[in-house]
Structure formats: C-alpha cells, structure tokens
Amino acid sequence: MSYESILVEQKGAVTLITLNRPQALNALNSQVLADLIKAFAAFEADASQGCAVLTGAGEKAFAAGADIKEMADKPASDFFNEDFFSQWTSHLVKTTRKPWIAAVNGFALGGGCELAMMADFIIASDNAKFGQPEIKLGVAPGMGGSQRLTRAVGKSKAMDMCLTGRMMDAAEAERSGLVSRVVPLADLLADALKTAEAIAAMPPMAAKVNKEMVNAAFETTLDQGLLFERRAFQILTATEDKAEGMKAFVEKRPGVWKGK
Ligand code: CO8
C-alpha cells in the first residue's frame, strides 16, 4: 500500500504511523485524511497487528492543526456539504476497534490536539504543547476539541484553552489528565512502541472489549455503563482466551492467545 503524506511501518505486532509533512508541521490536509483512513483500515483488517502508534515526523510537531492554507479559501457551503471533519471520527474512532496510541512529539494544536484525543490514550514528549487556538482564526474546534477536551480536562480548563487559544505544556497536560504520561523526547517513540507491544501481546478480544468499556463511560449513564461492563465481562468468560489466560496463570506461564 502506498501513501503520500504518512509513513506506515509494521514493527512486529505494532503498526507505526507517522504524519510526514514536517515542512508544514504535519498540518492535516485532505491527503493526510485519505492516507490515514487507508492506513487505519489496513491496521484494523490485519490480524497480525494488535496496536498502533501515531506520531509526527520531526522533533517540532505532532500536528500543528488542520491545514489552514487548504481551508482559507474554502466556502462555508463546502464545509457544510462535505460535513468537513466528520470522517476523522467515523474512520479513526468509530470503526477502529483495536487500540491505538498517540505519541505526541511537540505541537499538537487545533486539529492536531483533536487527532491526539481520538487515540485511546496519549503519551507526550516533554516538549509537547497542546492547544485549541482556532478562536484566533475566527473559528472554533471542529474535530472534537470542545467535546473531547472538556471530557478529558473538565469545563474550566477546556473553556480556558478554547477561549484564550493558549498552549498547555506537557506537565500541565499530564496534571490535567489529558495525557497518560510524559517522557523525554528522545525516549518517546521507544516508550510508545514498547507500550503498544505490551498491548498487542494481550488477548485481542479482551483488548477490544476493554477499549469499548472505557469508551462507554463517555456515552452512557453510570447504571447503563455498569450493565454494559458486566455483560461484556460475562461474554468474555465464554472465550477460549479466558480459559487459557486463567489456566496459564495457575500454571505460572504466559498465556498463548487465539483471539477466540
Ligand atoms: N496549517 C498549514 N500550515 C501550517 C500550519 C497549519 N495549521 N501550522 C504551521 N504551518 C506551516 C507554516 O505556515 C510554515 O510554513 P511556511 O514555511 O511555508 O511558511 C511552517 O508550517 C512552519 O511553521 P511556522 O513558521 O509558523 O513555525 P513557528 O515555529 O514559527 O510556529 C506554530 C509554530 C506556533 C505551531 C505556528 O506554526 C502556528 O501557530 N501554527 C498554526 C496553529 C493553529 O492555529 N492550528 C489550528 C489550525 S485550525 C484547526 O485545526 C481546526 C479547524 C479550524 C477551521 C479554520 C478555517 C479558516
């Protein structure tokens, strides 16, 4: 499979996807979207792949936002008629059932921050900077920033970020719960790949179900979420991997998974 704006490599059971427009700070244009849709579909379909890592080329940016140059002259009717930005969520979030991690190296602004928040979790480098600066362009977040950022860091900080357009550094992002951890830039990729390898080595059905359960917490009441959790747990107990996992524990050996 060939891509114009991203690099895709398989590292064992981990797919590493790199946004590759460093000259534009990996700004997200329609080519990047088309490439990512293809890459995520290939990752999802390939049974040898258990987890993906998304990062940005270069040391400066994960992605500095949607491509402003591409959007600048686009009429409002096109944004509306294309339902601009909707495909990001439908392809990268809704149809990707396998886990994936955003390894944020540098700026994650606007659509870049929103793309990182589509990941199941974010590992950030110590030079990472997050922000929703769209207000400065006369617009507002359009790929989930007002919703996912608010769920991640709460109303006060989300309002602060969206209304001032200021950047949050990696330490503040970790303190606020936006990222799971911060590591030195030099260690970021190795750390993210190691984490992804560990996830890819888990029973695949259990990985998908754990992801679905945590995501359900954002969509349901507590009672409905708890019911979903119990039912999903109960279904997992019928899998061959559950039998193997518990047997392997008792026999003090690693489990060998079938994905069944
Ligand atoms: N889109 C297109 N090109 C970009 C973007 C971007 N989002 N960000 C950076 N670039 C380009 C620059 O234009 C520059 O290109 P060139 O060398 O050809 O001039 C190159 O990347 C390097 O950037 P800078 O020279 O600006 O680098 P600095 O180190 O001086 O600054 C910053 C780094 C602070 C990250 C700065 O580049 C910046 O502020 N970028 C824009 C950040 C931003 O506003 N992001 C939000 C974009 S909007 C969005 O994501 C949601 C949709 C909103 C709809 C808008 C409708 C009009």
| pLDDT tens for each residue of 121-132 | 999 999 999 999
Q: Which helix (H) or strand (E) holds 198?
A: helix 188-200
pLDDT value at residue 217: 96
Please name the residues in contact with 115: beta carbons below 8 A apart, sequence gap of 6 or more. Answer: 28, 54, 62, 63, 88, 92, 102, 108, 143
13-68: pLDDT as tens digits: 999 999 999 999 999 999 999 999 999 999 999 999 999 999 999 999 999 999 99
Query: Cα angle vertex 181, ends 202, 63, to 5°?
Result: 95
Question: Any idea where the domains of the chain sit in the sequence?
Answer: 6-201, 204-251
Residues above pLDDT 70, as percent of the chain: 100
Please give the CATH architecture assigned to the domain spanning 6-201: Alpha-Beta Complex (3.90)
Gap between the Cα atoms of 212 and 218, Å rounded: 10
| CB 106 less than 6 A from any atom of ligand 1 | no
**Is this complex's ipTM strictly greater than 0.90?**
yes
State yes or no: is 134 an active-site residue.
yes
162-175: pLDDT as tens digits: 999 999 999 999 99
Residue nearest to atom 30 of ligand 1 (CA): 25
**Ligand 1 centroid to residue 50 C-alpha, Å:** 33
**Ligand 1 centroid to residue 68 C-alpha, Å:** 7
Our measurement of the distance from residue 66's CA atom to the centroid of its chain's CA atoms, rounded to an integer in Å, reads: 16
Average pLDDT over residues 232-244: 98
Instruction: Quote the pTM value.
Output: 0.97
Give the up-direction half-sphere exposure of residue 78: CA atoms within 13 A in the CB hemisphere. Answer: 6
CATH number for 204-251: choose from 3.10.20, 1.10.10, 1.10.12, 1.10.1420: 1.10.12
State which ligand 1 atom lies nearest to the alpha carbon of 165: 44
Q: Which helix (H) or strand (E) holds 8?
A: strand 6-11
